[in-house]
Every structure is written in C-alpha cells, then in structure tokens.
C-alpha cells in the first residue's frame, strides 16, 4: 500500500535526495548489467580474454616493435569495456544507496517479479520520495 504524501514527507525531512533522473540511470544500469552477464564458461573466457589477456598480449607485441592497425582497434574495444565496467560499478553503488533510502522510509511501494528490473522499483521509490518532498498541498 502506498502511504500518503504527508507520511512520506515527514519521514524524509532530513534525507538529501539527489536530482538525478532515476529511471534513466536504472535503464543504463540494466543495459550494462546485461552486457556483463556471462551464462557459460566460454562467454566468461571471452570476456576475460577481451578485458585482461589480449591487452597484455598487445603491449608485449608493441614492445617487440610489431605494429598493426588491428591492435589499436582491439585496445579501443578493451578501453570501452573497462569504461563500461567501471560505470556499471558506479551505477551499482547508486542503486544500492537508493535501496537503503527507500527501505529506510518504508518502501518499496510497488513490486516486480523479474529480479533484473528491481532497479526500476527503487527508481520509482526515489521519484516518490522526491515528489513528496516537493509536493505542496494547495490551500
């Protein structure tokens, strides 16, 4: 059951709610999470190869003065994978902080049967909290 706005407002007075676009962040989090999920050993091996072993191999080949344009493309792919990996960890920390905030207020107020989309549940909770803090009753 969704509580009244007054009740949420009272319990969130001291909370500092960021002005992020919570649903956009949750969408990006789900996309990045799907990118790094490995269902089999081969996918995990490919991911380790792309992120760790192949860049080491390229650096060794470059030290041996063996230049190839394909190395630059592979390093760009590795660089983007590492950027996405760190962004995923950053978003994971944000979603965890959302969970703590929403649970401290008595939420979540909606549910989802798919565990991949729980970040949207907490994004909804954060939007409700932000709205309750800015909601003014017309007198």
Instruction: State the pTM of this model.
Output: 0.81
Q: Mean of the pLDDT values across residues 29-46?
A: 93
Report the range of poorest mean pLDDT among 2-6, 34-38, 50-54, 65-69: 2-6
The pLDDT value given to residue 65 = 80
**Distance, CA of 128 to CA of 116 (rounded, Å):** 21
What is Dmax (Cα atoms) for the chain?
A: 77
The confidence score (pLDDT) of residue 139 equals 41
Please report which confidence band the pLDDT of residue 64 belongs to, taking 50, 70 and 90 as the band edges: confident
The least confident of 58-62, 64-68, 101-105, 120-124 is 64-68
Cα–Cα nearest to 126, from 48, 36, 26: 26
């Amino acid at each position: 059951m969704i509580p009244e706005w007054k009740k949420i407002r009272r319990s969130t007075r001291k909370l500092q709610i960021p002005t992020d676009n919570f649903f956009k962040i949750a969408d990006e989090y789900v996309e990045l999470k799907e990118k790094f999920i490995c269902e089999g050993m081969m996918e995990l091996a490919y991911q380790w190869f792309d992120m760790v072993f192949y860049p080491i191999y390229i650096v060794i080949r470059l030290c041996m003065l063996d230049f190839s344009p394909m190395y630059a493309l592979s390093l760009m792919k590795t660089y983007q994978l590492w950027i996405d990996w760190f962004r995923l960890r950053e978003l994971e920390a944000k979603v965890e902080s959302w969970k703590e905030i929403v649970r401290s207020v008595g939420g979540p107020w909606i549910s989802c049967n798919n565990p991949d989309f729980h970040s949207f549940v907490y994004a909804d909770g954060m939007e409700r909290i932000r709205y309750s803090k800015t909601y003014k009753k017309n007198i």
